[in-house]
Amino acid sequence: MTGVVVAPMRVEASALRMPGLVVLRGGMGPRRAAESAQRLAAAGRPVLVAGVGGALVPDVRPGDLVVATEIDGPDGRVPLPSAPMLAAALRRLGLTVHLGPIASSPSVVDGAERARYARSGALAVDMESAEFAGLPGPVAVVRAIVDTPDQPLWRPGTVLRGLSGLRSLRAAVPALREWCEAAGEGELLLASPRSFCAGVERAIEIVERALERYGAPVYVRRQVVHNAHVVRRLEALGAVFVQEVEEVPRGATTVLAAHGVAPAVRAAAQARDLRVIDATCPLVMKVHSEVKRYTGRGDTVFLIGHADHEEVEGTVGEAPERIVVVEDAEAAAHVRAPDGGRVAYAMQTTLAVDEAEEIASVLRKRFPSIEGPRRDDICYATTNRQRAVTTVAEEADLVLVVGSANSSNSLRLVEVARRRGTRARLVDDVSEVDLRWLAGATRIGITAGASAPPDLVAELVRCLQGLGRTRVTETVRADEDVVFTLPREVS
């Protein structure tokens, strides 16, 4: 059942009335709001309270919107977990949106009382939300600001500020409609394993320990793992991310990213007297070793992978003259070697298992004596996450993959889900979830790439539960207990 918008006052309801949106008048003040809430509880529909409100802090201005992360009412604080997705939908409309607690007061707030409410940490105040916040189904609250601490009610300009608030409410309608259509009962299907792998945990810990032991700044060549949130957090701790070691001051502490580097990069780091701490995943190092062994004895190596990916650049750097990158089955069908009897193949660790196998089988057919890994070079974490998302995709209407756009293994999870015929989207965090994707999606699968922090998944789950997908089941396709030792510089 889609949601309804509840507007306390007639003027607010009029601003919100547009095709496709069910708008009810809830009445002004807590008493009338309580009566409306009782009626809505019986109807069991998701409720979005929308109206005007007063700002409590100076940077929330007339015409801005405040989306409540929680309602602070007489009976305590009630969280409204779908708020980040509603805020993101409103921001996509170009509106100025603040995300934070809203206080719900029994009467109009001004003067000293406004200051008292502000001290609670709330951004805005209204008089009705507390009555709706505790309803059993999904609830959201958005308030368009008309008065502020320095421009209180009943001062010159109130009418204009009121109009500006009502204009914002009207402009918000497309996003409110999206929320109403996205809200509804359903289930979350968590794929397991998901999120951090052992190589990523090790790489992050290396940077953290380097900062502790050697002090900031610690330079990191390239993104230590391909995740914007991880990079931002480490930057806040004092890590400085660079593209090339040439940008690092001589002698400085420098971490090499998890994806591995070409020997030329190590040589350049040595030439600058850098204290190098290598965060290359041991499973990437294993592929480097295989490739070195093959090329060392004169073989041509077909490296199955994406030519512009950092891991592949690093591996190719082991012997650029003897390594040929093969990106797809079509390329495998035409690739050549100086001596077809002396060939081998290896793989990027984060490919789609089925695609890589298809490419390898073309190579094996064309070069019967070709040597390669016993099964593949795709690491345990990539394989397990793909297996788990496959199972979940078979049951889901939509799969959400948490990960950054430059993360190969995360992108592969999206593709694997889509190959099962299921809609799938990659999101860096909840703010990238478009409410329109969720309309009609009763069963939503969730996974995360090996570089995506687990707390982002937890936040996504909370948000979707706030939209009504309250049941959570987990499909476990493998147990992971892999742990890698740390390099001696930080152990």
Q: Which residues bind ligand SF4 (CB under 6 A)?
A: 197-200, 258, 281, 283-284, 349-350, 379, 381-382, 409, 450
What CA–CA distance (Å, rounded) separates 197 from 408? 14
Give the one entry of ligand SF4, ligand 0CH, none that residue 105 binds, where binding means its C-beta sits below a cut-off of 5 to 8 angstroms depending on kind.
none
By CB under 6 A, tell whether 386 contacts ligand 0CH.
Answer: no
Q: State how far the Cα of 345 lies from the Cα of 85, in Å rounded to an integer.
A: 45
Closest of 362, 456, 356 to residue 408, by C-alpha:
356
352 within 8 A of 413, measured Cβ to Cβ:
no
Q: Are 413 and 449 in contact (CB under 8 A)?
A: yes
- Closest approach of Cβ 390 to ligand 0CH, in Å? 18
| Nearest of 273, 210, 268, 263 to residue 243 by alpha carbon | 268
Question: Containing H/E element for 177?
Answer: helix 158-182
CA atoms within 13 A on the CB side of 401: 31
Residue 123 C-beta: closest distance to ligand 0CH, Å = 35
Question: Residue 258, interface with ligand 0CH (CB under 6 A)?
Answer: yes
Q: How many helices and strands (H and E) does the chain possess?
A: 17, 20
225 contributes a contact to ligand 0CH by CB under 6 A: yes
CB of 487 to ligand SF4, least distance (A): 14
Residue keyed to tokens 């993360």: 407
Is 334 labelled a binding residue?
no
Nearer to ligand SF4, 197 or 452 (CB): 197
Known binding residue 36? Answer is no
Angle at 293 between CA 288 and CA 298, to 5 degrees: 120
- Note whether 350 binds ligand 0CH by CB under 6 A: yes
Stretch that binds ligand 0CH, among 80-88, 205-213, 315-323, 445-453 (CB under 6 A): 445-453
**Interface with ligand 0CH, residue 349, by CB under 6 A:** yes
Phi, psi of 490 (to 5 degrees): -130, 5
Find out whether 409 is annotated in a ligand binding site: yes
The token duo for 96 is 């100025």
Judged by beta carbon, residue 13 or residue 210, the one nearer ligand SF4 is: 210
Residue 407's binding partner among ligand 0CH, ligand SF4, none (Cβ under 5 to 8 angstroms by kind) is: ligand 0CH
Does 300 engage in binding with ligand 0CH (CB under 6 A)? no
Q: Is 311 a catalytic residue?
A: yes
Answer whether 379's CB lies under 8 Å from 431's CB: no
Q: Is 406 known to sit in a ligand binding site? A: no
Q: Are the C-beta atoms of residues 178 and 436 closer than 8 Å to each other?
A: yes
Catalytic residue among 311, 321, 355, 415: 311
The catalytic residue positions are: 311
Q: Residues annotated in the binding site, as ranges? A: 197, 226, 259, 281, 309, 349, 379, 407-409, 451
Residues near ligand 0CH (CB under 6 A) are 199-200, 225-226, 258-259, 281, 284, 311, 349-350, 407-410, 449-451
